[in-house]
Structure 1
Amino acid sequence: MIKLIGIVVLLGLAGLMLFVRVSPNAPADWHEDPALVQKPSKPNAHLIRLVGGDEIAPIYALTPEALAERIDQIAREDGAELLAGSVADGHMTYISRSTLMGFPDFTSVKVSRAGDGATFSAFARARFGQSDMGVNRARLTRWLAALEDMVD
C-alpha cells in the first residue's frame, strides 16, 4: 500500500512538472505595458517604473533604440527568450524558466525617451504560485547591474 501511494505521488509530481513545462503561454496574455499595469498584491512580481513601482530605472545616455538593444542582449544572456514584441518597437516580453522545475516567469520591458537619453519600465512576474522567493526582483537587479556595466 505504501508503494502504491509513493507511485501515485511520483506520477502526480511528474504530471505537474510536465504541465508547467509544456503549458501554453499565449503572448497576448503576458505582453503588457509596465507603465500601465496594476501592481499585483502577490509578492511574486517586481515592477520598475516612474510612479507606483518597486524602484525607478535611471536615465541612460543612450538613444531608446540603443537601450532596447542592450536590454535585449542582457535578457538573452541571462537565459530569457523573447515571447512577444520587438526590439525595434522598444516593447519586449521575455519568458525565463527556473532551472529545476521550469516554472515560467515573464518580464515585460518598455523603453522610452527621457530628455536627451532613455529609460525603461519593467514588470517581472511569476505565472504560478504566491511567492517567487525574490527571483523576479533578482532578475531585474541583474539586468540593471549589467546595463550599468555596459554603459560605463
Structure 2
Amino acid sequence: MVIVWLVLTLVVVAMGYVRLAPSDPVEWHQMPDQPQVKDFANGVIRVVETGPNGLAELDAIATATPHTERRFGSVEDGMVTYVTRSLVFGFPDYTTARQAGDTLEIYGRARFGKSDLGVNRARVEGWIDALQPG
C-alpha cells in the first residue's frame, strides 16, 4: 500500500511540475538564426510566404486554438510565442512565429521529452493551411 501512495505522490508532483514550471523567455521566445523548413523528433520549422500580415493572421488562428495562449511577444513586436498544452496532462509545446518581410517563420517544439509524436507538425501545418486563401 505504501508503494501505491508513493507512486501516486510522484505522479501528482510530476504533473504539478509540468503545469507550473516557469517559462524563461530567453530560452523559449527565440527563433533559429536562419530558419529553414525542417522536421525533427520533437518539433518543426516552417517558412511560408504570407505577405506582410501573416503574423497578425496567424495570431488570430493560434489564439482561437483550444488550450493555446500567447505567452511572449506581440504582433506589433514582429514575434510571438504561444504555448499549447495537451488536454490530459497539460504538457506544454512552444510555437514561436516571426514576421520577416513577406515571410512568416514558425518554430514549434515540445518542452518535455525527446519526441512529440508529430503533434507540433500537425498543429503548425494546420495553422498554415488556415492561412491559405480558401
When normalised by structure 1's length, the TM-score is 0.79
Aligned length: 133
Relative to its length, the structure with more strand (as a share) is: 2
Which aligned runs of 4 or more in structure 1 are off by greater than 3 angstroms? 34-42
Task: Provide the residue aligned with 2:104 in structure 1.
Answer: 120
RMSD: 2.2
Task: Provide the residue aligned with 2:78 in structure 1.
Answer: 90
Q: How does 1:76-87 map to 2 (within 5 A)?
A: 76-79=63-66, 80-87=68-75
Task: Provide the residue aligned with 2:54 in structure 1.
Answer: 67
Please, which of 123, 128, 131 is the counterpart of residue 144 of structure 1? 128
Task: Provide the residue aligned with 1:52 in structure 2.
Answer: none
Q: Secondary structure at the match of 2:98?
A: strand
Does structure 2 conserve the Cα–Cα contact (< 8 Å) formed by 1:91 and 1:111?
yes
Change (3 A) 1:38 1:69: closer
When normalised by structure 2's length, the TM-score is 0.89
**Residue segments in structure 1 that go unaligned for 5+ positions in a row:** 50-56
Q: Which residue identity is paired with 2:9?
A: L
Larger Rg: 1
Q: CA offsets, 1:20-54, max 9 Å, x none? A: 000101122111124536999960011113xxxxx
Q: In structure 1, how many angstroms separate the alpha carbons of the residues matched to 2:19 and 2:37?
A: 26
Task: Provide the residue aligned with 2:114 in structure 1.
Answer: 130
**Residue segments in structure 2 that go unaligned for 5+ positions in a row:** none
Percent identity for Structure 1 against Structure 2: 37
Task: Provide the residue aligned with 2:92 in structure 1.
Answer: 104
